[in-house]
Amino acid sequence: MAVDQNADRATQAAQLAEEVREFLAAHDPATTEPLEFLRARYDAGLAWVNYPEGYGGKGLDRSLQADVSDAFAKAGAPDNKAGMNAIGLGMAAPTLLAFASEEDAKRLLRPLWTGENIWCQMFSEPGAGSDLAGLGTSAVKQENGDWLINGQKVWTSLAHHAEYALLVTRSDPDAVKHRGMTYFWVKMDTPGIDVRPLRQITGEAEFNEIFLDDVVIPDNQRLGEVGQGWAVAQTTLMNERVAIGGKVARRGEGAIGEAVRTWESSEQRDPALRDALLSNWVEAEALRIAQIRLGQSLAVGAPGPEGSAVKLGLTSLTQRLTGLELEIQGDDGLRYDNYDMRRPDLDKRWSRIPGFRYLRWRGLSIEGGTSEIMRNIISERVLGLPPEPRIDKDVPWKDLPR
């Protein structure tokens, strides 16, 4: 049964459910090879139903995706490495869909969704900090049309697993910092790319620093116009904030669920800690409702500044709850399980002890845009308050102090 594009939402949901049942009858998850199953699901338009036909979707309302995902999960459908490929699915895919050529988008999106290709995001730099527009990795166009890239990136998650990356560069140092940037996609095995692990406060090396030494990128791997990389980066960043803060947890799951389980297993019954736990439960519910509201907004358009508010709320709540877990544990909260430097298993974060979660989620204030940047976005774009003074607004990038 095909889904009627002109039908109302309820009819489309029923038709989509029938299509999923027909797909599962033809591709039994118990007997179909996982990669074959995932490729067939993508080709059937049941990967992300809001994407256009030919790109793994059906051009339907984004809100219909949750029912499709639940139906496949209940049927025991194979995983497409969603935890390992969070950057690919959450940030690279919508950027490629918006800016890549039709040929590149169709060629890159299928193996991205199936988990055959992991993606990372080369944005942050040692000299730019949270000010992405201050980046200095240079892109110089050659006589044959190729680009020569030199510079250093930092805090690049999953680069050691990635086959592809999103890359923002400085192509015109004479322009002001928000202009003169150019955006590319690049294969990670391109000569001149060197990935080195960075040890974090948890002891693990989830992040990397990357050195780019005379890396040659063809012009057909450029996303957006020359010098307009900031506009492309905004698409990536808005989707990044939604990917971090917009995932709707079930009631009682996530950080609040872990805190409740820690409370239930603890012998301490401090009334003040109980009150704090209840207060955070209420806030977790408010955040969950806000995430649902964000999903409804996304169903009718691209992510906007409301994604920043949800990301900020998630950061504050998660950090407070992981701190509360340590308080509930008392002296045992100071114990740590493994401080060996190693590459982490991202799917097992929540099975680690509260001390790990307390340290790891300090990073939420930085990754995907700092909390200070989120507050600026909310104040200026949502509340309409006067903008923060920017003395470097009209200064060429090459003349900025660094």
383, with CB counted inside 10 A (0-12, 13-18, 19+), is exposed
Which of 282, 291, 211, 285 has the alpha carbon at shortest distance from 243? 291
Kindly report the three-state secondary structure assignment for every residue of 235-255: HHHHHHHHHHHCCCCCCCCCH
Instruction: For residue 165, list its beta bridge partners.
Output: 120, 186
Instruction: Please tell me the distance from the alpha carbon of residue 264 to that of residue 359, in angstroms, as a whole number.
Output: 22
Torsion angle defined by CA atoms of residues 31, 36, 39 and 45, in that order, rounded to the nearest 10 degrees? -30
Tell the residue number behind the tokens 């406060």, with chain if given: 201
Containing 210, the helix (H) or strand (E) segment is strand 207-217
Task: Select which of 19, 240, 258, 327 is catalytic.
Answer: 240
**Quick check: 114 and 42 in contact, CB under 8 A?**
yes
- Closest CA relative to residue 284, chosen from 318, 239, 322, 324: 318
Q: Which residues are paired to 187 by β-bridges?
A: 164
Active site residue 240: yes
CA distance 283 to 280: 5
Query: Are the C-beta atoms of residues 182 and 229 closer than 8 Å to each other?
Result: yes
Instruction: Classify burial at 76, counting beta carbons within 10 Å of its beta carbon; exposed 0-12, middle 13-18, buried 19 or more.
Output: exposed
Catalytically annotated residues: 240
